[in-house]
Structure 1
Amino acid sequence: MKTKEDIKQLLDSLQSSSDKDLKFNEEEIYKAYEKSDNQQSLAIKILSIFGGIMASCLFIAFLFITGIYDSEWGLLVLGIPLIIFGAFITKVTDNILLDTLSISAYIIGFVLVGAGLLQMDTDENLVSIIFILIAVSALFIVRSYLISFISVLIICGGFLFLMISNNSFDLIHIYISLLALILTFIYLKEAKLITFNKAFSQLYDSVRIALIFCFLAGLYLLGKNYRLDYIGGYSFEYLGISSVVIILAILYVISHLFEMLNIKKSEQKYGIYALSVLILLPTVFAPAISGAILIILLSFLVNYKTSLVIGVVAFIYFVSQYYYDLHYTLLTKSIVLFCSGILFLGLYFLTHKKLSSDEKI
């Protein structure tokens, strides 16, 4: 941990090494460093979120035991202030206890408002739209990591609910395709988005990880064939839409990886493209697998370890689920996995060899 003396020494070193007269606002630099040094780690934030969810569940159970659900106006009168309190309390101070409290109040508020509106016989679609609008407002007004994370989940969850409740589950391909494109854009334009606007820099981390979970939620629904049949209104005729978009996004990401791996020869590029298409062709009817691969490649490209681990775990799960759902004999399944494994190993050795040669240079 750096002290003020260390920072002062660094500033003096920069001043002495420059030919121009540099001026630093040392007070603001100290404040910025202290603020960044006190930032909570991602693990602590995740624990805060889950702690808030658990506390919310217990408090909601207590409220319903007291019989508050008998009064729809009571639910609204209590729910709306809780949403406002949970959203804005984080603007007062940055404390882990208050973070958990804000998440609890925010979630409880949504649950109570939703219960109150439904008891008033409000249409479910209208309730979902109201939730989406509230979450969007909180996302752009509050700019808190935890509130932004929950808000993005509510927004995407609201759209998924609208698709399911209206038996329009085919629209999930558009949902997944849009998220794949948005994630690709966010990852590849990370530097520009952070420096473009202060609001973007404040929302970037929380929105990025939240979109990963929303993307995986959509892929999970597609990966569960029997769940889709149960929901109804689903057709496999449009399955190729999301698969094609994800595969094209993967190929676009690979083109950026060429720069990182210093691959300039056209023959090598075309060979990698051909090998990639060959690997991805079996996933046309399993976009969940190609979606996990997209997350892995994007995370590798920007060196984001959190989503890289999430992508690897998701890939293992989706491959296992795909293998389980195949209506083939055990021998055929084994051959499919064997061939896929050989292709992945070939791609690994190709990239590993290239990286090793670059390190030697």
Structure 2
Amino acid sequence: MAFKPSLRDVLPAGLQEQARAALASSQEATASMPWFVRVLTGFGAWLASIFLIIFISIGVLGVGEEVGAIVLGLILTGAAVLVRYAGSNVFLTQLALSTGLAGQGLFIGGVGALADEKMAALATVVLQLVLLFVYPDVIQRFLSALFGSTALLFLLRLTAPGVLVDVTLVGLTVLAHLLFLHQARLQSGRWRELVSPAGFGLVTTLLFSLVVRTWFHDIYGRSFREDATGLPAGVLTLGLAVVTLYSTWRVLEETDSEPGGAAGVTAFAALGLMAVLTLQTPGVIAAIGILLLGFHRRSVVLLGMAVIFILAFGVGYYYDLQFSLLAKSLALLGSGLMLLGLRLFILRRFPAAEEVR
């Protein structure tokens, strides 16, 4: 069985020739410029934008540091959007991206210096939400989803109860799963160019937030207000487990497998048991959910992220001083035996069919 489906598998016969022609033209356009030329062109664009920003800063920031930074940031960000719409070659793309990122940094920094960190976080959420829809670039849209969702969590940590922060994190997880589960349908609609970058941005926010929560307890605790308390780790793990179980159910339906059958019950039982064994480390079940989406969507990037963060959460759990060595040993032993037993059960209960050549 092929790892990725062919055009013959996913497209009707009438559209296959059109798709092949589009792929061929895209490959010819990409191959027309060597990679080192694209790298040098992009480097030149970033260098040109740096000199441009320095030149404008000398004249604008003299009016007032905070107000000047806000004005200059908005000007550069707006100019970046216009430049990106003007052309899609490597130089203009990288020039617009570098200028836009510098403008965003100046604007957010100016708002923070003029007001406080709460207003800076709010300004980040609003600005990134606007750029997510108006800036026609995959990288910027990914960064907008990443920066905007991270700023939203930080803003809630400063202003709202800690429970709401964890509930919002679960909500962002639900949104990321829905984007990838319905990716094919959403990419045929009006906002098709937003689906993938927004999904990857939300997944990155989720995983890095859980890494900070798992590895850096003190830093994570100081980001809350003094009277704010978050959800217990076990409750957050159960919430993320429910999201993973829902995605598993949808994947089973899409692959014409009965969720109530032997395969579905086996998958649900394994995920539930894994969530119980790693109750104090919510990142493990979250990364397993990303791993599921990666296999379902044939995404090498999602698979790589999930594997790396599963290892990171496992290491964080093992070296966490809040747990005794006995608890860590039992959790590792139990999860290892469970996975080995599950593998043996699957091999015997669901033998792989012979590959048809």
Q: Output the TM-score relative to the length of structure 2.
A: 0.77
CA contact (8 A) 1:56 1:108 kept: no
Give the match's secondary structure for 2:353.
helix
- Alignment correspondent of 1:5: none
**Counterpart code for 1:298:** L
Inter-partner Cα distance in structure 2 for 1:100 and 1:149: 15
- Alignment correspondent of 2:221: 229
CA contact (8 A) 1:173 1:241 kept: no
**Counterpart code for 1:89:** V
Cα 1:202–1:106 shift into 2, 3 Å: same
- Alignment correspondent of 1:129: 122
Equivalence map 1:181-192=2 (5 Å): 181-192=174-185
**Counterpart code for 1:281:** V
Question: Are 1:314 and 2:309 an aligned pair?
Answer: yes
- Alignment correspondent of 1:357: 352
Equivalence map 1:201-240=2 (5 Å): 201-223=192-214, 224-233=216-225, 234-235=228-229, 237-240=231-234
Give the match's secondary structure for 1:358.
coil
Percent of aligned positions with the same letter in both sequences? Answer: 21
Which of the residues 168, 171, 174 maps onto 1:175?
A: 168
**Counterpart code for 2:310:** F
Question: Are 1:83 and 2:77 an aligned pair?
Answer: yes
CA contact (8 A) 2:275 2:285 kept: yes
Which of the residues 275, 281, 286 maps onto 1:280?
A: 275
CA contact (8 A) 2:241 2:271 kept: no
CA contact (8 A) 1:280 1:290 kept: yes
Instruction: For residue 220 of structure 1, report the CA deviation from its aligned partner.
Output: 2.0
**Counterpart code for 1:134:** L
Which of the residues 85, 93, 97 maps onto 2:91?
A: 97
CA contact (8 A) 1:99 1:146 kept: no
Inter-partner Cα distance in structure 2 for 1:59 and 1:342: 59
User: What 5-or-longer segments of structure 2 have no aligned partner?
Assistant: 1-6
- Alignment correspondent of 2:4: none
CA contact (8 A) 1:82 1:109 kept: yes
- Alignment correspondent of 1:163: 156
CA contact (8 A) 2:69 2:106 kept: yes
Cα 1:148–1:235 shift into 2, 3 Å: same
Inter-partner Cα distance in structure 1 for 2:338 and 2:319: 21
Inter-partner Cα distance in structure 1 for 2:259 and 2:201: 35
Deviations 1:245-286 (A, max 9, x none): 211122222224445485677345334422321121122322
Deviations 1:103-123 (A, max 9, x none): 21112112212233344x324
Deviations 1:162-211 (A, max 9, x none): 123337443321122111111221111111111133xx221222112111
Give the match's secondary structure for 2:280.
coil
Cα 1:265–1:25 shift into 2, 3 Å: closer
Cα 1:301–1:74 shift into 2, 3 Å: same
Give the match's secondary structure for 2:87.
coil
- Alignment correspondent of 1:111: 105
Instruction: For residue 66 of structure 1, report the CA deviation from its aligned partner.
Output: 6.5
CA contact (8 A) 1:172 1:218 kept: no
Equivalence map 1:40-55=2 (5 Å): none
Instruction: For residue 337 of structure 1, report the CA deviation from its aligned partner.
Output: 0.7
Instruction: For residue 143 of structure 1, report the CA deviation from its aligned partner.
Output: 3.0
Instruction: For residue 232 of structure 1, report the CA deviation from its aligned partner.
Output: 4.3
CA contact (8 A) 1:149 1:206 kept: yes
Equivalence map 1:219-298=2 (5 Å): 219-223=210-214, 224-233=216-225, 234-235=228-229, 237-258=231-252, 260=255, 262=257, 266-298=261-293
- Alignment correspondent of 1:6: none
Cα 1:287–1:51 shift into 2, 3 Å: farther
Inter-partner Cα distance in structure 2 for 1:57 and 1:286: 43
Inter-partner Cα distance in structure 2 for 1:285 and 1:71: 46
Instruction: For residue 359 of structure 1, report the CA deviation from its aligned partner.
Output: 3.8
Inter-partner Cα distance in structure 2 for 1:348 and 1:329: 29
The count of aligned residue pairs is 334
CA contact (8 A) 2:121 2:155 kept: yes
- Alignment correspondent of 1:195: 188
Inter-partner Cα distance in structure 2 for 1:350 and 1:171: 40
**Counterpart code for 1:229:** G
Cα 1:25–1:178 shift into 2, 3 Å: same
CA contact (8 A) 2:162 2:231 kept: no
Give the match's secondary structure for 1:195.
coil
